[in-house]
């Protein structure tokens, strides 16, 4: 780090000197470099430093869903229900894809198993698809991205007046 600071300072001094005087100064006339102050710095005592690694926190897939939903902005009071639904729908697997269980031939995508015919395929009301119209996704396959899936699920939650109507918990 000291090398970097010194090189920046030296370059700065040379650049300023040549610009200010429009003639390069001989190197023996350059001012002494300015070093950062070390006042108050104490070398760490090697006998007191620890080499213990930080504990690794391993989260279950559903714990990851909860944390991601929290970061996206889902209301805290809805997180328990959200995780229960994600567990029931996809076992909290972002790549879950139901191609066969819907009698109407539609498919469900991602963590929250968002239905394509209802939400990401063109309809008479939404020429691009509802979620595309909102700008959340471009194609139904984008729902395999857990962030986009939970964002889309939040939009559907709000569409249903902040209820879980779309999932029938």
Which residues does the annotation mark as catalytic? 89, 108
Cα 153 to Cα 31, 82, 157: the distances in Å are 63, 9, 6
Compute how many other C-beta atoms are within 10 angstroms of the C-beta atom of residue 115.
Answer: 20
**Interatomic CA distance for residues 140 and 40, integer angstroms:** 59
Phi, psi for residue 153 in degrees, rounded to 5? -60, -40
* Cα maximum dimension of the chain: 86
User: To the nearest 10°, the Cα dihedral for 101, 104, 106, 112?
Assistant: -60
Cα radius of gyration rounded to whole Å, the chain:
29
Phi and psi (nearest 5°) for 79? Answer: -65, -40
């Amino acid at each position: 780090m000291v090398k970097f600071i010194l090189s920046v300072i030296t370059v700065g001094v040379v650049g300023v000197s040549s610009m200010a005087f429009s003639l390069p100064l001989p190197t023996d006339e350059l001012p002494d470099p300015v070093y950062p102050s070390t006042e108050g710095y104490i070398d760490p005592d090697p006998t007191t430093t620890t080499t213990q690694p930080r504990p690794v926190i391993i989260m279950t897939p559903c714990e990851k869903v909860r944390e991601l939903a929290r970061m996206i902005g889902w209301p805290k009071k809805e997180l328990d229900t959200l995780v229960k639904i994600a567990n029931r729908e996809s076992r909290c697997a972002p790549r879950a894809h139901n191609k066969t269980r819907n009698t109407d031939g539609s498919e469900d995508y991602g963590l929250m198993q968002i239905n394509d015919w209802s939400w990401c395929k063109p309809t008479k009301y939404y020429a691009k698809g509802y979620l595309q119209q909102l700008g959340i996704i471009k194609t139904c396959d984008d729902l395999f991205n857990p962030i986009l899936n939970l964002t889309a699920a939040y939009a559907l939650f709000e569409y249903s007046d902040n209820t879980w109507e779309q999932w029938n918990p």
